């Protein structure tokens, strides 16, 4: 199974000039495997969010967590970074 996933990740892509480009890492955008890998990787986040008392929405590898204050949002951000152990791109957005 790992070899199959590695093969899917390391496949190249055709650029806008129809030239082949090898890929060394990452899943190409729009790849069939992308949502599956996102579900596997973010399962822990889903379990964590189910225990929180705040709304959580996830679609593939994008997610939104609603917080009552900026302080609470920053706290969630810290917890998620610790949970996933990555430098995930987070953007705190204020909704008025």
Over residues 66-80, the pLDDT tens digits come to: 998 989 988 988 888
Cβ neighbours, 10 Å, residue 91: 5
pTM: 0.64
SS3 57: strand
Q: Is the pLDDT of residue 59 over 70?
A: yes
Over residues 11-45, the pLDDT tens digits come to: 777 778 888 777 766 676 677 777 888 888 889 88
DSSP 59-72: ETTEEEE--SSHHH
pLDDT value at residue 63: 87
């Amino acid at each position: 199974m790992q070899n199959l996933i590695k093969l899917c990740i390391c496949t190249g892509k055709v650029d806008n000039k129809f030239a082949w480009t090898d890929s060394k890492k990452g899943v190409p955008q729009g790849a069939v495997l992308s949502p599956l890998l996102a579900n596997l990787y973010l399962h822990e986040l889903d379990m964590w969010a189910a225990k929180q008392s705040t709304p959580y929405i996830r679609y593939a590898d994008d997610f939104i967590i609603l917080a009552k204050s900026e302080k609470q949002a920053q706290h969630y951000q810290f917890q998620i970074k610790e949970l996933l152990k990555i430098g995930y791109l987070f953007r705190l957005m204020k909704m008025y």
